[in-house]
Amino acid sequence: MSGVRVELAELIALRLRARRFVRPAPRVAGSRAATHGSRFRGRGIDYIESRAYQPGDDIRQMDWRVTARSGRPHTKLFQEEREQNVLLVVDVNPSLRFGTRVRFKSVQAARAAAWLAWAAVQGGDRVGALGFGAGLVAEVKPGGGTRGALRVLRALGEWDAVAGHGPSVPLSQALQRAHRLARPGSRVLLLSDGYSADAAAEAPLTRLAQHCDVAALVLCDALEQAPPPPATYAVHGEDGRAVLDLAAPRLRTRWPELFAERRAALLAMCRRHALRVGLLDTRDEPEAVLPRLLGIEARRRVAPAGAA
């Protein structure tokens, strides 16, 4: 069943590979210092309250709404988060239970999510996850360290085992849940093949992107990019058995376009919001795409003194 089902041991093994790209979070000094300088982008600060302006306050932190309402200048007070939250929004709809090279898209999504979880806790952040799909509404609250990452990994395996067949859950519902769960300044990473994207997802994505750093990883398979060899194929779908004549030139030309159209809605929304997007094939390893998506590079190995 390798490549068909999510295996916890494989997800745990990705820890060492993620460490090549993320250094342990350093401690930083300063009157408002957090525990670390996060490797993930985001505001990383919490608004506490507003108080009357005092000489020496940073004018950039002025609370203009309270100032206008009270008639007296007020400034905002913030407290930096000791850790940043990273929320993984994982699509487990039936369309991801497909793959013709190495593994299913669902397994690749879990592997990528595990890599991201290990990278997050290695950088000193908390990681949580939200799963959505047919028969599944589940989430893992953000937690730090190895324990936080393992909770996410175990959930990924459980979601893969219980997600069933049936109507797909639209992306809009998942984004509404993510908006409620993600704190301002969080890093939100969507892992999906894009087939669940619906027009109603635009509004919650807009709200989420206003307060969080959002990026998307789109899963794909080789068969979605090029048709198989010319022949007649028997297939089974929601409407029963059908026959595809993939020797027809017209269908072969349209083949990659049909799958691209399924992803088009998600990609278009990401472009409108200037979100970072990565495309991960089922044949590839997570580090082929995820470091660029996160804006990090591999850690350089430093040779010991005196080494040739």
Write down the domain spans for the chain. Answer: 8-23+83-223+264-294, 45-80
pLDDT at 277: 97
pLDDT at 82: 54
Helices 105-122 and 145-162: crossing angle in degrees, nearest 10, is 170
pLDDT at 80 over 70: no
pLDDT at 306 over 70: no
pLDDT at 30 over 70: no
What's the token pair of residue 82? 């000791």
How do residues 117-148 score in pLDDT, each as one tens digit? Answer: 999 999 999 999 999 999 899 999 999 999 99
Range of lowest pLDDT (30-44, 54-68, 187-201, 244-258): 30-44
Spatial CB neighbours of 108, under 8 Å, sequence gap ≥ 6: 99, 219, 280, 281, 282
DSSP secondary-structure letter at 36?
Answer: S
Give the CATH number of domain 8-23+83-223+264-294; options: 3.40.50.410, 3.90.79.10, 3.40.50.300, 3.60.150.10.
3.40.50.410
Q: Which residue has the higher pLDDT, 292 or 30?
A: 292
126-133 sheet: strands from edge to edge: 136-144, 126-133, 85-91, 187-192, 213-220, 276-281
Measured CA to CA, the distance from residue 41 to residue 178 in angstroms comes to: 18
Rg from Cα positions in the chain: 22
- Section 193-213 average pLDDT: 96
pLDDT at 6 over 50: yes
